[in-house]
Structure 1
Amino acid sequence: MPTKDEDLNEAIRALGQLFLAKLPAKFLEIETAIQRFQSTPEDRENFSLLHRSLHTMAGSAGTFGFPEMGEQARILETQLKNYVAGEVWSQSARDAFCDQVRNYLTVARQRAVETSSSIAGTSDFNAEQDISAVSMAPPVKKIVYLVDASEEVKHEITQQLEQFTFFVESFSCLQDLETALQKQIPAVLIIDTDFDSVHLAGTNEVMRLRMTGYALPPTIFISDTNSFDSRLHAVRAGGQAFLLKPVDILVLTERIEEILAHNYPRRYRIMIIDDDTELAQYYSEILKRAGMITEVLNDPELVLEQMASFRPELILMDVYMPNCDGVELSKVIRQDPSYLDIPIIFLSSENDLEKQIAAVKVGADDFLNKPIEPELWISSLSSRAERYRALRSLVMRDGLTGLYNHTAIKEDLIAKMSSASRDVTSVSVAMLDLDNFKKVNDTYGHQIGDQVLRTLSHLLRQRLRKSDVVGRYGGEEFVVIFPNTTAEVARLVLEKIRIAFNKILHVAEQAEFSVGFSAGVADSRQTTNPDDLLVIADAALYRAKHAGKNQVVLGVQ
């Protein structure tokens, strides 16, 4: 006779198969909505139907193993929101948007066909596989339109941005931009304010396109003129950034990433503690649909062990549990200094005010009463988790690069190796060191040296998986942790990053220059001790330096 857990897994698997079976109907619904939207745009019900269809796909596709399908639907939904909010689109802009949706459907249908058999035939299909798929997904090249009359400017920006996984299409005249927008809306538009030496020509063209009805992407203006007038017109044209030439590529890439990040949900790590398995799984599914990562714990006795490996940003628990109630469990958690600041939220049907106050007194941060509307519940958890993340970042992050600091990266390595040991998987660690960095500081100054450090840190974040972790170990030395990865694979990944970094030109007053790095890689097959693993990787780094630098070497025990 199947257990409750087996029933739950089967139910989740069945939901996945049901979603897959309904995909053709969902695609048809979007296709019908786009036809109505294109033929009779004056009918508000038509674009409401299209928006609702895209919104539904954006919220559900990722949950059942189609993260890219969900993300693309979310991008289209965001564009349509501007139209729903009153933005005026021309007929050509509507047609271009409709073509984007049809292209999306073509790719989505093919993706569904390719993966249907594997998802339908996997007996242990569950929501956690979806989280893994998202975190392990390789970086996707994002399309950027670059409009500038100068071939030199276009070449320099294009060459540099391509090292950060952007695909750049450049245009030399404003008319070409309008033609391109009719075919495809890019992720970001970069345009010169004073196009072809005509003051505010680029800014005025963007304003004209918006007034004509084009659904323009986030826009970054670049300019030779640092005047209030130029900056004001850029703001009025809807610009989200204004950068002076010569453009600092690192600043440009960081601004692009910040802009694009607003299109995606913040993936907070939430631990759910409840002895009611089905109810805990229900909470988990709701939070995952809101873009969060969850860990369900039904046995309170395992809380410290699970927290060490999962590292939650918020704990959600019921007040009443057998053997150890929520109040007692809060005290146990708060005994560990590492968890003094982690938010603890009680979700319970308990209406007794005195008991609620007692729960808060022992260290809980909030008490939410059941039943509660999911939107209010998610909003409350998100605000608490965001505050914790921000405060934690101040303690754990390096101020210059934004990466984990020395202490934090070592703690993460311990947690990753502990998890790998339980799951019988490999975790790799790499030690990176910039080559001839003292010479860079001595020749170009420490400010330029800091720029080099930030560039490497940004490139590592761009090129690595979301599940990989990067830290600044000290000075010009970095550590990268690769979960579920052998040293051989990690070395190949770092080789590609090394080549890309070596192509990036750093700009100083005296000249343009490039920098390389050396690295050593080891993995947990060589040792299960985190400190020893770092020693092996460091020894490999030492060999790379003495073998000529600018190379990646495997560690030997």
Structure 2
Amino acid sequence: MTSHGPAGPAGARERGISEDKRVAALREVALAGARTIADRVAALAAACAAIAGTVPWTEAAGSRVAAAAGLARQLAGSAATFGFPHVSRVAASLETALQGLIRRRQPSGDDLPHLLRLVDALQSALLRSPTSARIAAGGPTWQPPPVQGVYLAAPAGRLDDLRLLVTGLGFSVVAVDLDRPDALPRQVAALVIDAAERLDMAKIGPLLGRGPTILVADQIDLDARLAAARCGIDAVIPQPVDPGELAEWLNGFIGGASEQPYSVLVVDDDAVIARAYSAALEGAGMVVETTCDPAEVPALIAAHFPDLVLMDLQMPGISGIELAQVIRQSRRFLSLPIVFLSAEQDADRQLVARRFGGDDFITKPVDFEWLIRLVRLRAERARSLRSAMEHDSLTGLLHHGRFKDKLQHELERCRRTGAEISLAMLDLDHFKRVNDSYGHLAGDRVIRALARTLRVRLRRIDLIGRYGGEEFAVILLDTAPTGAFTAIDQVRQAFAQQQFREGDRTFRVTVSAGIASSRAHRHMNELIAAADALLYEAKRAGRDAVFVEGVSELAPEPC
């Protein structure tokens, strides 16, 4: 999707957080890495000198050789990343020499003098190297944040129909004549273009490049789709427009999910390298969790569910390939991107890694700018695919199964940290009458309007799902029932004031809700049952109300 890379609105926002901060973070990574490489060279030189001075050769000397080989392996992997390629090559030769000593169990001939010559070469390589890593040049310039709301561009005779369709989905709109591209801002949150009967790319071209774009047209064939793709259009929908598909695209563009920073789990047995990757990615606006222990990875993924795992291929104890196989044993993580970091050049070995769960390779030494771009690209793509799989097509909210997964995850967090969540169950009042009186298309508009009201009125951190039919559910994070009541009752009041139109008739719809707390119900099914029971108490009490467990003094205000 062309509008969402580093040059698109999401990328501009991430770089706009602070380009200076990003560059400063990379510079700090480089300087810290340079200091670490010098320390590691000194430690490896001392270890090798001790080995060369061991007379007579004992079993304890063999243990020191194994430890030194580990130091050499770490140095070979980290030195090139921090801008010391000569140090990396000599360290790799040292590791080979030390591994030879381990296999032979006793030094012979020129083994120990050769080891000392390599140590001299290592120290000389350090002196010839730069004192800091490569600092990448700044990226694209900061762009202003996009104007919120959906912009519409269509021929004058079709603007009203398009406006009615998009407002019916619950979005605020600004309509612009197709022949007036100058009326559009430079950046928009989303743009819908109705090309009408004939797709004229010369006319559409001046409208493009302002944000995520959806093209609607009467005639859509492969040539039209190719032309749209080449111009950077994100989605193409033929007439008559499927409202559900249009709503899903718009929710994806401006529903708020894309503004959440990407989350990355970094797995590397070298703590210095792990911190370096973490600093580089955090400087680009991402949230990073790191571990040097492969055994911790399954639990960390289950606890944080990152957008991407960045993992060293060669690790002691558990290899990256083995760890990828373990991750893929859970169906929840089949789509989780795994990017391997490796000096591996063998195509067959890379193919084996991909076969067992790897999605991509970054070859060491790692260029931090390239790392940031690839991780962002992979995480964005994964998030888009996951969103399509996890969200209800009519409303763009979490579907039933994924919502329950999120609820279980949050209850586990509450048990670990002592936090509290509130669960609200909401149901449209007399919804069958809406379908019977005004038709199912009108009913769909009502469902989408409530979904939109929930997204607008609640916090971005709150989790909203379409639980089934006309029933919705909300997880209000770190919120007691009294606070949840205030939020959900504001939703109730705002929704009751919305007016719907079907032909020449207008109507309103109300919603009822029940709220229960994780403090009283620690298990998922109990919490759902409690909130559902309160919802039906609100229904029996006359509807258009919010009932909260154990808080009888709270009463909904009249609209």
TM-score category (smaller protein): 0.5 to 0.7
> Quick one: which of 203, 207, 210 aligns to 1:238?
207
Superposed, which structure 2 residues align to 1:355-504 within 5 Å? 355-504=349-498
Change (3 A) 1:252 1:338: closer
Q: Deviations over 1:106-127 (max 9, x none)?
A: xxxxxxxxxxxxxxxxxxxxxx
Contact 1:273 1:316 in 2 (8 A): yes
1:340 aligns with 2:310: no
Unaligned runs of 5+ in 1: 1-51, 65-73, 80-103, 105-139, 148-152, 167-187, 194-202
Change (3 A) 1:351 1:495: same
Q: Deviations over 1:225-276 (max 9, x none)?
A: x9659999984663867999xxx99999988776668997673332222233
SS at match of 1:481: strand
Identity of counterpart residues, as a percentage?
Answer: 34
Change (3 A) 1:556 1:165: farther
Instruction: Measure, in 1, the Cα distance between the counterparts of 2:17 and 2:187.
Output: 23
Contact 2:435 2:443 in 1 (8 A): yes
Superposed, which structure 2 residues align to 1:138-537 within 5 Å? 190-191=175-176, 193=177, 206=180, 235=204, 238=207, 267-353=261-347, 355-537=349-531
Instruction: Measure, in 1, the Cα distance between the counterparts of 2:507 and 2:452.
Output: 18
Q: What displacement does 1:361 show?
A: 3.2
Q: Deviations over 1:285-313 (max 9, x none)?
A: 33234343332233322222222221123
Q: What displacement does 1:551 show?
A: 1.6
Instruction: Measure, in 2, the Cα distance between the counterparts of 1:375 and 1:326.
Output: 23
Change (3 A) 1:439 1:418: same
Change (3 A) 1:523 1:208: closer
Q: What displacement does 1:281 show?
A: 3.0
Change (3 A) 1:277 1:487: farther
Instruction: Measure, in 2, the Cα distance between the counterparts of 1:424 and 1:220.
Output: 44
Say how many residue pairs are matched. 392
- The normalised TM-score by structure 1 is 0.59
- 1:78 corresponds to which letter in structure 2? Q
Q: What displacement does 1:341 show?
A: 3.0
1:78 aligns with 2:47: no
Q: Deviations over 1:308-330 (max 9, x none)?
A: 22112321111233432322212
Q: What displacement does 1:342 show?
A: 2.1
SS at match of 2:413: helix
Instruction: Measure, in 2, the Cα distance between the counterparts of 1:250 and 1:62.
Output: 39
The residue that corresponds to 1:543 in the other structure is: 537
SS at match of 1:77: coil
Instruction: Measure, in 2, the Cα distance between the counterparts of 1:222 and 1:346.
Output: 41
Q: What displacement does 1:344 show?
A: 1.5
- 1:400 corresponds to which letter in structure 2? L
Change (3 A) 1:431 1:323: same
Contact 1:330 1:364 in 2 (8 A): yes
- 2:207 corresponds to which letter in structure 1? G
Q: Deviations over 1:370-416 (max 9, x none)?
A: 22333433333334334433443343222222222111111110011
Instruction: Measure, in 2, the Cα distance between the counterparts of 1:533 and 1:263.
Output: 26
Instruction: Measure, in 1, the Cα distance between the counterparts of 2:537 and 2:387.
Output: 34
SS at match of 2:341: strand
Q: What displacement does 1:426 show?
A: 0.7
The residue that corresponds to 1:198 in the other structure is: none
Unaligned runs of 5+ in 2: 1-11, 25-138, 154-158, 218-241, 552-559
- 1:327 corresponds to which letter in structure 2? I
Instruction: Measure, in 2, the Cα distance between the counterparts of 1:332 and 1:450.
Output: 42
The structure that has the greater radius of gyration is 2
Contact 2:392 2:466 in 1 (8 A): yes
Change (3 A) 1:76 1:519: farther
Instruction: Measure, in 1, the Cα distance between the counterparts of 2:283 and 2:354.
Output: 28
SS at match of 1:484: coil
Instruction: Measure, in 1, the Cα distance between the counterparts of 2:147 and 2:205.
Output: 29
Change (3 A) 1:332 1:252: closer
SS at match of 2:142: helix
- The normalised TM-score by structure 2 is 0.58
Instruction: Measure, in 1, the Cα distance between the counterparts of 2:431 and 2:181.
Output: 45
Change (3 A) 1:446 1:231: farther
Q: What displacement does 1:472 show?
A: 1.1
The residue that corresponds to 2:230 in the other structure is: none
SS at match of 2:309: strand
The residue that corresponds to 1:95 in the other structure is: none
Contact 2:152 2:192 in 1 (8 A): no
Change (3 A) 1:165 1:525: farther
Instruction: Measure, in 2, the Cα distance between the counterparts of 1:144 and 1:365.
Output: 35
Contact 1:522 1:536 in 2 (8 A): yes
Q: What displacement does 1:534 show?
A: 0.7
- 2:418 corresponds to which letter in structure 1? V
